């Protein structure tokens, strides 16, 4: 699960870091972090998709939010698998046979009144 989370988070951190630094033109002498390259990347990507370049960052943000909810859902399912399965069984009535078997088991009662 740790590898899955790392493989999910690493591209988001790299993309967010590049976007934030290049948006505010904090390039530290690297051409890849300049605002000119930032604008050029979005113009090229917008032309490839046939949409205006200004609409790309909100779409990427929506995709990241959706992916985050999917990943959180996977984590919840992994950690609560038994509880979810028992709730599904109770909801659909699949565990009634097990309950009847447990109810039919008789435990002999101990008679403690004859203890000297």
In a domain, 110, yes or no: no
- pLDDT band at 93; cut points 50, 70, 90: confident
Establish if 94 belongs to a structural domain: yes
pLDDT, average across residues 72-81: 91
Dihedral angle, C-alpha 87, 88, 89, 90, nearest 10 °: 50
Count of domains for the chain: 1
pTM: 0.69
**115 within some domain:** no
pLDDT value at residue 8:
94
Q: Does residue 37 surpass a pLDDT of 90?
A: yes
pLDDT of residue 1: 84
Residue in 8, 15, 17, 14 with CA at minimum distance from that of residue 68: 8
Q: Tokens 């203890």 identify what position? A: 115
The verdict on residue 112 lying in a domain is no
């Amino acid at each position: 699960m740790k590898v899955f989370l790392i493989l999910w988070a690493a591209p988001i951190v790299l993309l967010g870091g590049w976007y934030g630094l290049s948006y505010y033109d904090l390039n530290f002498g690297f051409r890849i972090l300049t605002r000119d390259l930032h604008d050029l990347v979005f113009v090229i990507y917008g032309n490839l998709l046939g949409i205006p370049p200004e609409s790309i960052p909100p779409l990427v943000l929506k995709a990241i939010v959706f992916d985050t909810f999917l990943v959180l859902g996977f984590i919840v399912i992994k950690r609560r698998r038994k509880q979810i399965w028992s709730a599904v069984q109770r909801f659909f009535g699949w565990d009634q046979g097990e309950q009847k078997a447990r109810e039919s088991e008789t435990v002999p009662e101990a008679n403690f009144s004859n203890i000297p």
